[in-house]
Amino acid sequence: MVPASNNINLHVEDRAKRAMLSGNATPIMTKPICYSTKAFSTTSPESPLSAAVIERRVPTATDVQIQIIYCGVCHSDLHFARNEWNFTQYPAVPGHEIVGRVTAIGSGVKKFKVGDTVGVGCLVDSCRTCADCTSGLEQFCLNMVMTYGSTDKHLGSPTIGGYAQSIVVTEEFVLRMPSNLNLAAAAPLLCAGITTYSPLRRAKVGPGHTVGIVGLGGLGHMGVKFAKAFGAHVVLFTTSPKKAADAKRLGADEVVVSTDEAQMTAQAGSFDLILDAVSATHDLNAYLNLLKRDGNLVLVGAPEKPLPLAAFPLIFRRRSISGSLIGGLPETQEMLDFCGKHNITSDVEIIRMDEINTAYERMLKGDVKYRFVIDMASLN
Ligand SMILES: [Zn+2]
Ligand SMILES: [Zn+2]
């Protein structure tokens, strides 16, 4: 349970308190009143995640306090926990596929009430005034505040993710969850879902389009579901032929084994868009040749090292290659509403919080169908 904000152990930073008592009128940045909540954190790249107690701010006027019910496990969580992107500050708490229930709201909150089922994705704040923010593209704001790995605007310390009992987020960055969806299976929509929905939507994928999805993992399996729901002919590319039956169950019309040259050649020049969700080193040029004139290869996987790129396949058929990053708040809500309407969720395996370290090892081996989701009740 998340402690209600009125019966928890409150404390104020001593420095500020002393200044107040001494009548010092100089404004001092005060640390907001905080409360303690249980979480799972890691203290170094080599350490396993383990139980910890963290602090969240008590909701300010525009904040929503959320009891976290489920949190999806994204591959980014693992990169972050192990400092593989070189910006992790420890102790680190990952988690940005958060669903839960509103337990308290600030006096100025308009969109939510206590008891609402809500979600929080990869962002918890941004500058809100730049051209990206005012266009609803907060994910590109140079001052975006990520759910974990950024600096908390209120506390000045690193932001703390969703492997925790509760989170406090400004209402503009809280999303409404459709009431008909299984909540555990809906958690991965907050990152894997929007990451694949956004580029397909932007390309106006629909009936008459042929769309390729490369890789059947956490991202790829959502790409297949969305491309199918938009009415496209969907082709799944995989290195493992044994994934074919599952890909078809998820909505793929065809499955191509990407290591089979004859199968790849047979698809040459036939795709409007290929969504590449593979983060391992692989041959991009093989996929460029499969695009039609003006076709687009969109990268959403992030290989560690730069990949070689041949210019001819781009030049001769005016093809392009691009990237895409999650989605802004309006599009993320649109995606959730779309999922509610079309009953789309992730295929998930629910785990206990203390199974997270094993889950990371299994994720590295591709041994998950297709997303781990933590049942946060197991943290009590
Ligand atoms: Zn993610
Ligand atoms: Zn901004």
Alpha carbon of 73 to ligand 1 centroid (Å): 8
Alpha carbon of 253 to ligand 1 centroid (Å): 27
Q: Does the pLDDT at position 24 exceed 50? A: no
Ligand nearest to the CA of 132: 2
- Both tokens of 71, joined, read 């949190």
Alpha carbon of 30 to ligand 2 centroid (Å): 25
pTM: 0.91
- Position 29 confidence tier, pLDDT thresholds 50, 70, 90: low
Ligand nearest to the CA of 329: 2
Q: How far apart are CA 176 and CA 111, in angstroms?
A: 9
pLDDT for the residue numbered 11: 39
Q: How far apart are CA 17 and CA 15, in angstroms?
A: 5
Alpha carbon of 64 to ligand 1 centroid (Å): 22
Ligand nearest to the CA of 131: 2
- What pLDDT, in 10s, does the model give residues 316-360? 999 999 999 999 999 999 999 999 999 999 999 999 999 999 999
Q: What is the mean pLDDT of residues 96-120?
A: 98
Alpha carbon of 292 to ligand 1 centroid (Å): 30
Q: Does the pLDDT at position 49 exceed 70? A: yes
pLDDT for the residue numbered 31: 75
Cβ atoms 270, 295 nearer than 8 A: no
Q: What is the mean pLDDT of residues 295-319?
A: 94
- pLDDT-wise least confident of 64-73, 126-135, 276-285, 328-337: 276-285
- 3-state SS, residue 74: coil
Phi, psi at residue 237, to the nearest 5°? -100, 130
Q: Does the pLDDT at position 310 exceed 80? A: yes
Alpha carbon of 108 to ligand 1 centroid (Å): 30
Alpha carbon of 151 to ligand 2 centroid (Å): 15
Ligand nearest to the CA of 125: 2
Alpha carbon of 353 to ligand 2 centroid (Å): 34
Q: Does the pLDDT at position 23 exceed 90? A: no
Alpha carbon of 129 to ligand 2 centroid (Å): 5
Strand locations in 156-286, DSSP E? Answer: 166-170, 175-176, 210-214, 233-238, 254-257, 271-276
Alpha carbon of 327 to ligand 2 centroid (Å): 14
Alpha carbon of 171 to ligand 2 centroid (Å): 16
Alpha carbon of 260 to ligand 1 centroid (Å): 31
- What pLDDT, in 10s, does the model give residues 190-200? 999 999 999 99
- 3-state SS, residue 134: helix
Ligand nearest to the CA of 94: 1
Alpha carbon of 168 to ligand 1 centroid (Å): 19
pLDDT, mean over the chain: 92
